[in-house]
Amino acid sequence: MDTSSPLPSRLATGDLASASVKAVLRSIDDSRQPDPDRIAMAYRSDRLLRIDGESPSVWSPYSAFWRAADGWLRTHGNYPHHASALCRGLEVPADATADDLRSVFAAASVRESVDRITDAGGLAVEVGREKPDHDAALRARPLVEIRRMGADAPPRSHASSVPAAPLRGIRVLDLTRVIAGPVCTRTLALLGAEVLRIDAPHLAEPEWQHFDTGHGKRSVLLDARSEQMNALLKDADVVVLGYRPAALGRLGLSPDVLADRRPGLIIAQLSAWGLEHPDRAGFDSLVQAESGIAMIESPDGERPGSLPAQALDHSAGYLLAAAVCETLARRSREGGTWHISTSLRRVAAELLGMPRRDEPHPEREIDPELHSQTFSVAGRTVVTAAPVLPGFSFAAPRVWGGDRPLWRSPHTVRV
Which of 30, 135, 284, 313 is catalytic? The answer is 313
Contact 66, 75 (CB under 8 A): yes
Cα(294)–Cα(64) distance, integer angstroms: 12
Q: Is 70 a catalytic residue?
A: no
Cα(80)–Cα(366) distance, integer angstroms: 34
Cα(374)–Cα(325) distance, integer angstroms: 28
Cα(244)–Cα(159) distance, integer angstroms: 33
Question: Cα separations (Å) of 298 from 62, 129, 239?
Answer: 20, 11, 38
Residues noted as catalytic: 313
